[in-house]
A and B are shown apart, each in its own frame.
Chain A
């Protein structure tokens, strides 16, 4: 059907149809608003890009796999190797296994004010790990290793809790983190080394 036929059928619309297809009506005010909206979105995206690339703030995501059914046979997540280790360069690494219903070892002690790297694997189902009021958070997905590096600014006792439903004991799944000041951490370490 051509435009002319249409004119015949719909005399009211004839005027509107004539030559005005492909011509959208956008109110000037609305156009302005779209620019504002795009500007807003631009600011948000720029902030994300800035924190990611200039400040290196990233979520976890290493895509590292592991056989969750055989954690005990893996070097890193064997029972004897779990816990807090100060490495040669002085950095602190924490290796944890998440299993119903706890994070093992159940109590850890770490220093404030310096980056700590956590390596976590699940021995059974899905879990999540969160230390409230801090940035220490990640999902723990069976079959994959989660790695997070974060700094605890304030010393204190914190619960490290499971924040993904993992079964009837989910409420009870938590472990204790004691964050100590750097001074007492260093003092404690020299003591152990001196022993």
Chain B
């Protein structure tokens, strides 16, 4: 692929991702308004649940998948310094994913798929929704395969050499995604599609939920790893420093890959169809996978500290002041960490085998994942977009300060939105309700928090529109930049990178470990549905 075609290719991914994001933000704002019940005229469960289903799919599946694919292609070509393997296949994957997205989106917007982004049978959506979602995933498998092939080709051409960290992490994410998506793919292909088409009368809801939980946890690492790639490989460079610990970074990515997968049952703590023993094992695994995140926090903060001290910062905290707060990448990293710390505490509550009962399916949960997914992860997506835009468009950003305004407002809006959302959860408000009709004094205390959420939502919507404006305007009217000036630079390591042991330079062995862990943690829990007599459910409207 010539460079120009390549840029169009990656930009297509990014614009699809960010277009979906913009649309979903408009819906998000409508949702906070509707659910508050303050405006009688817009009250409608039909519209609300169609909207939440669309918003969830656009944010959780469309924004993420297309962003990750685009960024992945960029990382592969720039860090390996080789062109995309098989551009036709890459375009085909993109085309299939777009086709699937459009197909699913039509059903969602028509209100024929108001089953939320988690599907949850036995409420049943139009078959085109399930097929569309499947095609989106199939398209992303093309991407994953291309990443793996490029990884292998590079290693063949450079025997004994260490695969650059960004590509190592990127390939870990491709592998992770292949493993992750297998759960929901089985649910859709063997259960939901045949059932919706009437080939089978019933589905076992317990099995469906178990397969979905296989996907539901590691998918968050699929979303998060690009943010971690930016934190490890782009942030230290942007801060004027170096990566503090290259070797442990590789270990962190492997830990995410291996231990992120076999722990999905923390989504089923409250479910009757799985036993306490397996829930506890998955629960312990959930805490283990905090390790790579804690390691990431340390390494990235250490890299920032060194950069801050090199810039003259002194004393215990003086280095914080001398950081490049006016660099979008550095600013995003700082704000992302602040949200990650707050969200991490919340996550401990959710993950707790016992404490989960208190917050399960309350408003706490969307409060939590907006903070950590919509906050930490997405703010790093913004930072990446700003960083690579000149490389992709050949134009400089139109302004140095607008991106900072945008990032700050996203952070502030997210705090205003998610703090009251958490509190509402503790006050007992369930998630996914379009109005409050419980005839109980309890609910009177909810109103002020609903108001705060509307304000947070408005700030976020403004910030999202500013983001799109900066990207579009820069692409059209930015000052042209030379290719050299737009080059993407990955952070150098503080210590020279020596030859890595094979285990830290490839995934063969780790895939076997994952296979063993998945068999141990999901083997019997899935098999049991075929060993005992279970009762399936016919499809229900909504």
Residue numbers in A under 8 Å from B294 (CB-CB): 33, 37, 40
Q: Are B271 and A125 in contact (CB under 8 A)?
A: no
Q: Mark B404-426, 1 if CB is under 8 A from A, else 0.
A: 00000000000000000000000
Name the one of A1, A38, A161 contacting B430, with C-beta atoms under 8 angstroms: A161
Q: Which residues of A contact B322 (CB under 8 A)?
A: none
Least Cβ–Cβ distance between B230 and chain A, in angstroms: 20
B12 within 8 Å of A (CB atoms): no
Q: Is A153 an interface residue (CB 8 A)?
A: no
B window 287-324: CB within 8 A of A: 287-288, 290-291, 294-295, 298-299, 302
* A41 contact set on B, CB distance < 8 A: 287-288, 290-291
Considering the complex, give the chain A residue whose CB is closest to the CB of B353: A48
Number of A-B contacts (CB under 8 A): 236
Q: Is the CB of A24 within 8 A of B247?
A: yes
Interface contact B356-A59, CB-CB below 8 Å: yes
Q: Give complex CA distance A34, B294 in Å.
A: 8
CB-CB nearest in chain A for B270: A139
- Given the known interface contacts A16-B498, A143-B534, the answer about A128 and B272 at a Cβ–Cβ threshold of 8 Å is no
Would you give the shortest CB distance from A186 to chain B, in whole angstroms? 27
Interface: A78 (CB within 8 A): no
Q: Do the beta carbons of A171 and B45 come within 8 Å of each other?
A: yes
**Nearest B residue (CB) for A146:** B272
Q: CA–CA, A174 to B121, complex, Å?
A: 21
B273 touches A168 (CB 8 A): no
The reply to whether B496 and A142 contact each other, CB–CB distance below 8 Å, is: no
With A25-B495, A63-B275 in contact, is A137–B357 under 8 Å at CB? yes
* Assembled-state Cα–Cα distance A146/B272 (Å): 5
Contact of A130 among B120, B273, B360, B501 (CB under 8 A): B360
Instruction: Name A62's closest neighbour in chain B (CB-CB).
Output: B272
Contact with A along B111-132 (1 / 0, CB 8 A): 0000010001111000000000
Question: Assuming A33-B298, A163-B360, is B291 touching A61 (CB within 8 A)?
Answer: no
From residue 15 to 42 of chain A, which have CB atoms closer than 8 A to chain B? Answer: 16-17, 20-27, 29-30, 33-34, 37-38, 40-41
A23 and B428 contact, Cβ closer than 8 Å, known pairs A63-B528, A125-B122: no
Report the separation of the CA atoms of residues A41 and B269 in the bound assembly, to the nearest whole angstrom.
20
Q: Which residues of B contact A79 (CB under 8 A)?
A: none
A81 vs chain B, min Cβ distance (A): 19
Our pick among B276, B295, B439 for the contact of A59 (Cβ within 8 Å) is B276
Stretch at the interface among A65-73, A87-95, A108-116, A187-195: A65-73
Question: In this assembly, does A145 line the interface, its C-beta being within 8 Å of a C-beta of chain B?
Answer: yes
A6 interfacial by beta-carbon distance below 8 Å: yes
CA distance A64 to B498 in the complex (A): 56
Q: In the complex, which of the residues B283, B291, B500 contacts A37, with contact meaning CB atoms closer than 8 Å?
A: B291
- Which of the listed residues A13, A51, A142, A168 has the most CB atoms from chain B within 10 Å of its own CB? A142
Pick from B206, B288, B348: contact of A143, CB under 8 Å: B206
Contacts of B291 on A, CB cut-off 8 Å? 34, 37-38, 41
B427 within 8 A of A: yes
CB distance from B159 to the nearest CB of A (A): 5
Partner of B122, one of A1, A16, A126, A157: A126
Chain B residue contacts of A133, Cβ below 8 A:
427-428, 442
**Smallest CB separation, A63 vs chain B (Å):** 5
Q: Is the interface of B mostly helix, strand, loop or mixed?
A: loop
In the complex, chain B residues 439-464 whose Cβ is within 8 Å of any chain A Cβ: 439-440, 442
- Residue B508 at the chain A interface, CB threshold 8 Å: no
Asked if A154 is an interface residue, CB under 8 A from chain B, the answer is: no
A145 touches B272 (CB 8 A): yes
The answer to the question of A179 belonging to the interface, with a C-beta cut-off of 8 Å to chain B, is no
The chain B residue sitting closest to A136, CB to CB, is B357
Residues in chain B near residue A167, CB distance under 8 A:
123, 540-542
Interface 0/1 of B42-64, CB less than 8 Å to A: 00011001000000000000000
Q: A140 to chain B: closest CB distance in Å?
A: 8
Closest to A32 in B: B298
Contact (A60, B287) CB under 8 Å given A23-B498, A125-B123, A128-B360: no
* Complex contact A141–B273 (CB within 8 A): yes
Q: Is B77 an interface residue (CB 8 A)?
A: no
Main secondary structure of the interface of A (DSSP, over half): mixed
Distance in Å: Cβ of B509 to nearest Cβ of chain A: 15
Q: Contact: B432 with A165, CB < 8 Å?
A: yes
- Bound Cα distance from A21 to B500, whole angstroms: 6
Contacts A48-B284, A135-B358, A165-B116 given; does A27 touch B244 at CB 8 Å: yes
Report if B433 contacts A (CB, 8 A): yes
Would you call A20 and B49 a contact (CB within 8 A)?
no
Task: Give a binary string over B121-163; 1 marks a CB under 8 Å from any A CB, 0 the rest.
Answer: 1110000000000000000000000000000000000011100
Chain A residues with Cβ under 8 A from B500's Cβ?
A: 21
Complex contacts, B246 vs chain A, CB 8 Å:
25
Please give, as numbers and ranges, the residues of chain A lying within 8 Å of B504 by CB-CB distance. 24
A60 CB to nearest B CB, Å: 6
Q: Are B498 and A20 neighbours in the complex by a CB distance under 8 Å?
A: yes
- Provide the bound-state CA to CA distance between A147 and B275, in Å: 12
**B245 interface contact, C-beta 8 A:** yes
Query: Across the interface, do A65 and B535 meet the contact criterion of CB distance under 8 Å?
Result: yes
Give the residue name and chain of the A residue nearest to B273 (CB). A144
Q: Is A58 an interface residue (CB 8 A)?
A: yes
Cβ of B537 and Cβ of A68 under 8 Å apart? yes
* Complex contacts, B535 vs chain A, CB 8 Å: 65-69, 142-143
Contacting residues of chain A (136-187) with chain B, CB-CB under 8 angstroms: 137-147, 157-159, 161-172, 174
Assembly CA distance A16 to B504 (angstroms): 17
Check B120 against A58 for contact (C-beta < 8 Å). Answer: no
Asked if B361 is an interface residue, CB under 8 A from chain A, the answer is yes
Partner of A132, one of B271, B354, B427, B432: B427
Q: CB within 8 A of A141: which of B49, B272, B433?
A: B272
Q: Are A61 and B437 in contact (CB under 8 A)?
A: no
Tell whether B434 is near chain A: CB-to-CB under 8 Å.
yes
19 more contacts with CB within 8 A, not counting A25-B498, A62-B272, A64-B272, are A34-B295, A48-B353, A48-B354, A59-B276, A60-B272, A61-B275, A63-B532, A125-B123, A128-B430, A130-B360, A133-B442, A137-B361, A138-B270, A139-B270, A141-B205, A143-B536, A159-B442, A163-B361, A166-B542
Nearest 10 Cβ contacts at the A-B interface: A132-B428, A163-B430, A163-B361, A21-B499, A37-B294, A144-B272, A167-B542, A67-B535, A57-B354, A59-B269
What are 27 A-B interface contacts by the 8 Å CB criterion?
A6-B160, A13-B498, A27-B302, A30-B244, A37-B291, A37-B295, A40-B290, A48-B287, A48-B352, A51-B354, A52-B354, A59-B279, A69-B535, A69-B537, A124-B122, A130-B360, A130-B430, A133-B442, A137-B270, A137-B360, A138-B270, A139-B272, A141-B205, A143-B536, A165-B49, A166-B542, A168-B49
